[in-house]
Copies of this chain bind each other. A is one copy, B any other.
Amino acid sequence: MADYIGRLGRQELEAKGITGWNWGFADQVRFYELDALNHVNNVVFLKWFETARVRYVQDLGLTSYGPGDPQLVIRHQTADYFAPMHQNESYVVTARTSSIKSSSLVMDYAAYAEGECRASGSAVLVSLEQDGKTRRPHVAEAVARIIEEDGAARG
């Protein structure tokens, strides 16, 4: 699996003044992310958080999303919007797990630009079998790693 373009770790995030996160990626606003008000549409931030989530759970070993591996589905999410973003702006999206149980977890996300947090969010995720219904416990190693790296509370 190719390295994520723009992938940032704790030290690189801290060098940008973004503290409290171990996992992030850098990117830039594209034209198709703007809406008719000429700023990044509110839903696009949730796509950025999804991009972070998908790669984060692959990196940390919760799932590969492949056949035989757990599905991770969203039960609840929130987003707060602090300031608009515009065409070509560079930004960093961060992700971490705040708590994890045997077959669910709670994640936090944020989008930073020019040193300020433009939007943040959270999501409650549930681990399911490929049938999309039955709960499937997390891989123990991934849980241990998430607790160690992110300081996630064991729920």
B78 near A51 with CB under 8 A, answer no
A75 interface neighbour in B37, B54, B77, B80, Cβ under 8 Å: B80
- Nearest to A28 among chain B residues (CB) is B5
How far apart are the CA atoms of A65 and B86 in the complex, in Å? 12
Interface residues on chain A, number (Cβ under 8 Å): 44
Asked if A84 CB lies within 8 Å of chain B CBs, one says: yes
Number of copies: 4
Known: A31-B50, A73-B81, A76-B81. A2 touches B89 (CB 8 A): yes
A35 interface neighbour in B36, B75, B80, Cβ under 8 Å: B36
Asked if A34 CB lies within 8 Å of chain B CBs, one says: yes
Asked if A71 CB lies within 8 Å of chain B CBs, one says: yes
